[in-house]
Amino acid sequence: QAAKPHVVVLATGGTIAGAGASAANSATYAAAKVPVDKLLAGLPELSSVAKVSGEQVFQIASESFTNEHLLKLGQRVSALAKQEDVDGIVITHGTDTLEETAYFLNLVVRTAKPIVVVGSMRPGTALSADGALNLYDAVSVAASKDAGGKGVLVTMNDEIQSGRDVSKTINIKTEAFKSQWGPLGMVVEGRNYWFRAPAKRHTTGSEFNIDDIQALPAVDIVYGYGNMNTTGIEAYGKAGVKALIHAGTGNGSVAAQAVPALQALRAQGVQVIRSARVPDGFVLRNAEQPDDKYDWVVAHDLRPQKARILAMVALTRTQDSKELQRIFWEY
C-alpha cells in the first residue's frame, strides 16, 4: 500500500480551537483554547486520509490578526510548501478574518500544493460542533492531488470554496461561508467532488511572492453611509495611509461631501480604491464616479476587507494607479 500523503496542520486559534462551559454553549465560549495536538488527537479518523502533523503557529482569535501575523504565517506556509516531504497544508483559523488570510495566501504563496484554510462556527465542546468534520474535510482536500493548482481553498460546511471568493456571511449558523460565484466543489465522507476552477490569478500564476515581502504598507477602510462625513478620510490621510479603501454604498457610490476629501488624498499620492459595502455584485469603473478623471481604482468584485489585502500586496510592487487597476482586474 502506498504511503499516505503528509499534511501539516498549522493552527492559529479561533473557534475551531474554542471551548465553552457547557454543551449548550454554541455562541458563548472562549476561542483559541485547545492546542493543535489535542485537536488532532481528538480526530483519529484523519489517519485514514493522510499522515498528519501539527504545528501551533499562534493561538488567537482571528479579529486580532495583524499584518505581522499574515507575514509570519505566509512565510511558514511557503517554507513548508517547498519541503519535499510535505504534500499539503491545512491552516486552522478563526472565522472572522479567515477570508482575508485565505486571500492573502492565495496571492503570495508560490506553490501548486493544496493549501486549505478551515474554521468552525461552534466550539468543539458544543452540541453539533462543526469543527471536527470541517477539519477532516480540510485534511482530505489537502491530501488530494486534485486540489493542487486551484489556489488557496476553504472547506466549511461540506463545501470547497475558493479562498479568493468566499466570505463569512452570517455570524451564527454553520452555513456561514459563501461566495456569489458558488463553491468549487464538495467533500462527502472524505472524498472530494469538483465542479469548477478559479478564473483569477493565484499562487503559481501570481506575480507576488511572500519570499520577497518583508513588510506590508498601511491600507485602511472607510465605510459609506447616510450623512457621511470626512473625519475618517482626513484622519487616515494624516496618519500616512498608502491606500484607502472606500466601502461605498450601492455600486461603490461616494457621498458628494466625501469626494473632495478623497481627491485631496489622491493628490497627496494616496491610492483611492472604490469598493462597495453591498455583499455581492461588483463595482464598475467610471460608473457612479469618474474614476479615470480622479485617478481612482475600482475593487472589481472584492469586498472591502479583501480589497485591503490585495492593495497591500500590490503596493509592495507598484505605486502606479494603472498597474494597481490591472492587478484588481486580474486577481
Which chain residues interact with ligand GLN by CB under 6 A? 13-15, 31, 61-63, 94-96, 119, 121
Residue 252, classed as helix, strand or coil, is: coil
Cell 472606500 identifies what position?
246
Task: Read off the C-alpha cell for 178.
Answer: 459563501
Q: Which residue in 15, 101, 203, 230 is the catalytic one?
A: 15
Instruction: Report in angstroms how near the CB of residue 136 gets to ligand GLN at its nearest.
Output: 17
Q: For residue 152, what is the DSSP state?
A: S
Minimal distance, residue 38 CB to ligand GLN, in Å:
17
> Looking at beta carbons only, is 28 or 204 nearer to ligand GLN?
28
Using DSSP bridges, classify how beta strands 177-178 and 167-168 pair: parallel, antiparallel or unpaired: antiparallel
What whole-number distance in Å separates Cα of residue 169 and Cα of residue 178? 7
Hey, which residues does 19 pair with through a beta bridge? 30
Choose between 30 and 186: whose C-beta lies nearer to ligand GLN: 30
Rounded CA-CA distance 201/37 in Å is: 35
Q: Which is nearer to ligand GLN, 96 or 301 (CB)?
A: 96
Write out the H or E segment, with its range, that includes residue 324. helix 321-330
203 tagged catalytic: no
Annotated binding site for substrate: 62, 95-96
Give burial (CB, 10 Å; 0-12/13-18/19+) of 51.
Answer: middle
Given 28, 66, 92, 95, the catalytic residue: 95
**End-to-end CA, the chain:** 40
Closer residue to ligand GLN in complex, CB, 15/271? 15
Q: 259-267 and 231-239 are packed helices; what angle lies between their axes, rounded to 10 degrees? A: 10
Identify which of residues 94 and 163 has a Cβ nearer to ligand GLN in the complex: 94
Name the minimum Å distance from CB 73 to ligand GLN.
14
Query: Measured from the CB atom, is 9 or 270 closer to ligand GLN?
Result: 9
Least spacing, CB of residue 97 vs ligand GLN, in Å? 6
Contact 262, 272 (CB under 8 A): yes
Q: Is 28 among the catalytic positions?
A: no
Residue nearest ligand GLN, CB atom distance: 94
Cα–Cα distance for residue pair 258/184, rounded to 1 Å = 39
Q: Least distance to ligand GLN from the beta carbon of 121, Å?
A: 5
Closest distance of CB 134 from ligand GLN, Å: 11
Q: What is the spatial distance between Cα 226 and Cα 28, in angstroms, rounded to a whole number?
A: 33
Name the residue type at position 131.
G
> With the C-alpha atoms ordered 295, 296, 298, 302, is the resulting torsion angle positive or negative?
positive
Cα angle: 195, vertex 196, 199; to 5 degrees: 175
Residues 6 or more apart whose Cβ sits within 8 Å of residue 230? 257, 258, 260, 261
Positions marked catalytic = 15, 95
